[in-house]
Structure 1
């Protein structure tokens, strides 16, 4: 499946935002088992909504940090370009011949230096922290819908 098809499928499977933000279903869980049950259910139930939230947080960080955006663009374009080169033919750049393996090495070194200077580690920490806080906070405090309580029950 292509990325476009997968994205379309996930967008169509989003739960309604009115259901996602239903304040009447927010309540304090009953201990660790209550949190565990809610996390297990809600992470599956709202999975696509959570993925979209994570992508929006990542997009926010990329937009607010232009050098990080340039670095990520370099990573994506460089990866795509080197991957498209023939493996058994050398590539000539500025009159010097490079194998694909040498280009991967040069690309890795430049990428690491670029990411180091853009502060990727702190950005990754904050993205992970914010996403974990939002997703786990929502999943832990959002009660199951009433319909879910009756799943698996057989009618007499």
Structure 2
């Protein structure tokens, strides 16, 4: 049995398409189009349109907020770097033991040591509160922008029946 994937984009193609979808800053921060929506239907229409139109910009906003949240929680940043660096170092051994001269450590022992160190540090670093803050801040920023930024004049009436 053979499985064929015909419509899968490679990561580089997907990234190139996303970068091409980034809207200019003057369009993203067009204060002339900021207005209070009249009703919930208008909010829904604006959010639907803006989430689609500015999706790449919103990914950048999310990335910036992610970096900011990690810089606010330096212990979590340290734990992430420690775990990533340790996993990379263990993978560089390619299954061989680590010889320190006075002792030999197997990759299983190294993984256990990493777990024993990283799990308590991870709990102390409070990643859940950082993730909740990130989700809340991103939601407020993105949905707030999408709800209060009106459609451009040329697209304002495209979804309405005449």
Shorter-chain TM-score bucket reads: 0.7 to 0.9
| 8 Å CA contact retained: 2:76, 2:127 | yes
Please list every run of 5 or more consecutive structure 2 residues that lacks an aligned counterpart in the other structure. Answer: 1-9
Asked if residue 66 in structure 1 is aligned to residue 66 in structure 2, the reply is: no
Deviations 1:27-82 (A, max 9, x none): 22233222222211111111111111111112122223322221121132233344
Structure 2 residue aligned with 1:23, among 10, 26, 31? 31
| TM-score normalised according to structure 2 size | 0.72
Residue-pair matches, total: 149
Quote the Cα distance in structure 1 between the aligned partners of 2:12 and 2:129.
28
Please tell me whether Structure 1 or Structure 2 has the larger radius of gyration of its CA atoms. 2
- Alignment of 1:123 onto 2:115: no
Computed over aligned residues only, the root mean square deviation of the Cα atoms, in angstroms, reads 3.0
Tell whether the 8 Å contact from 2:90 to 2:107 is kept in structure 1 after alignment.
no
CA deviations on 1:61-119 (whole Å, 9 max, x unpaired) are 22233222211211322333445554xx453365344345x655554453332221112
Is the contact made by 1:90 and 1:97 (CA closer than 8 Å) also made in structure 2?
no
The 5 Å alignment of 1:1-156 reads 1-2=10-11, 6=15, 9-84=17-92, 86=94, 89-92=95-98, 94=100, 95-99=103-107, 103-104=110-111, 106-149=113-156
Please give the alpha-carbon distance, in whole angstroms, between the structure 1 residues aligned to 2:90 and 2:153.
Answer: 52
Q: How far apart are the structure 2 equivalents of 1:152 and 1:38?
A: 11
